[in-house]
Amino acid sequence: KAGVTQTPRYLIKTRGQQVTLSCSPISGHRSVSWYQQTPGQGLQFLFEYFSETQRNKGNFPGRFSGRQFSNSRSEMNVSTLELGDSALYLCASSLDSVTSVGYTFGSGTRLTVV
């Protein structure tokens, strides 16, 4: 079965612009989480969506937002980009059942802000 698909793979944006990243989870997975990975801060949780609702949110400013569609695909948006937003953004999908332990990650979107 198809894995988690993140698009685009690479992005270069200018400070002050906004960007939208997309994540298509594994078919049947209803939970989508987003993580930011930087050399300085490591991997940090951004937010999690389940059934089109944001269920958990990490400690990021309001410039970071997301949404989930009825087909479970998710997008995250970063407005007013800053140089420090340059990072690998990873999306993970899961079944979200009590016994589910599997998180499947995509290959990520590498965002460079110049």
Partner 1 sequence: AQKITQTQPGMFVQEKEAVTLDCTYDTSDPSYGLFWYKQPSSGEMIFLIYQGSYDQQNATEGRYSLNFQKARKSANLVISASQLGDSAMYFCAMREGGTGRRALTFGSGTRLQVQP
- Cβ-contact 109, 46 below 8 angstroms: no
Considering the rule CB under 8 A, would residue 42 count as an interface residue with partner 1?
Answer: yes
In the chain, the N- to C-terminal Cα span, in Å, equals 37
Q: Which of 54, 56, 71, 77 binds partner 1 (CB under 8 A)?
A: 56
Q: How far is the CB of 16 from partner 1 (least distance, A)?
A: 26
Question: Residue 84 or residue 102: which is nearer to partner 1 going by CB?
Answer: 102
- Cβ-contact 9, 90 below 8 angstroms: no
Residue 45: name the closest of 55, 53, 33 by CA: 33
Given the rule CB under 8 A, which residues bind partner 1?
Answer: 31, 33, 35, 42-45, 48, 55-56, 58, 88, 90, 92, 94, 96-98, 101-108, 110
